[in-house]
Amino acid sequence: MECNEDIYSKIINKFWTPNDNVMNKIKTLCISNNCDKIVELGPGYKPFELSNYVIDIDETYSELYSKKTFLKLNVNYETIPRENKFFDYCYSRHTLEDISTPFFAFNELTRVSKRGYIETPSPLIEMMKGVDSGNVNYKGYIHHRYIVWSDKDTNTLYFLPKLPIIEYIVFKGNLSEQLHYMANTKPLLWNNYYIWDENMTPNIIVYGYNSDYDYVGNYAELLNIGMNKSVEYTNKFFGDCY
């Protein structure tokens, strides 16, 4: 890992790919719960090793899922053709922040799955410039629709529309330097994590607009809450391992 004065001023270490510590933890959860039917939403070109069902609208990488049951559907509005709690486990990495109706998709995933894991980019990373190689002058990943975080106390997954105003938010004091240091040195903080099972009821809140298309809520305050809650959940999920 490169470490110099830039580590406090810009993104120089990028942690996009699946993290081994995370993957090992999720595999352990699947194995310890004797999960036989594991569904993955949005596998792309890096499908989850243990999944035997995949859901996607895009067939570009379907040859990579040749040994898995492929369910082609649009999770923005199409119901998953399986009964309640059909799957033992659901896995989804970097997908729900891209779609237009996460509320519908989330409720479908939690309906058909007894337990599961959802990973999205963290609010911290969505507020940093230089993350997305193709768009280094913009904050976060330019194509994402939502900024997502988890609340550990209520086991709620929050979705905040990613609005252009984030480009104009300026961090006070030395917060920018602190966030750059965290982003460059702590790979697990690049993502937000969320799990549910029979002991943790899944919940979701999607922020939106009122009838006059004015944003509901204090946007900057919600972003601050999101960054703190995401780090808090990561601490709970991984302890001191990062």
- Per-residue pLDDT of 103-117, as tens digits, reads 999 999 999 999 999
Amino acid at 226: G
Beta partners for residue 91, in sequence order = 40, 117
The reported pLDDT for the residue numbered 1 is 47
Q: At 174, is the secondary structure helix, strand, or coil?
A: coil
Q: Give Cβ neighbours of residue 183 (< 8 Å, ≥ 6 apart).
A: 11, 13, 124, 125, 128, 131, 189, 190
Distance from CA of residue 51 to its chain's centroid?
A: 18
Q: What is the average pLDDT across 41-63?
A: 92
Q: Which CATH number fits domain 16-238: 3.40.50, 2.60.120, 3.30.450, 3.30.70?
A: 3.40.50
pTM: 0.93
| Residue 3 pLDDT grade (very low, low, confident, very high; cuts 50, 70, 90) | low
| pLDDT 10s digits, 182-192 | 999 999 999 99
Beta partners for residue 11, in sequence order = none
| pLDDT 10s digits, 125-172 | 999 999 998 788 899 999 999 999 999 999 999 999 999 999 999 888
Q: At 235, is the secondary structure helix, strand, or coil?
A: helix
| pLDDT 10s digits, 206-227 | 998 655 545 556 888 999 999 9
| pLDDT 10s digits, 33-49 | 999 999 999 998 889 99
| 217 CB-side CA count, 13 A | 14
Identify the burial level of 3 via C-beta atoms within 10 angstroms of its C-beta, where 0-12 means exposed, 13-18 middle and 19 or more buried: exposed
Q: Is 131:11 a contact under the CB 8 Å cutoff?
A: yes
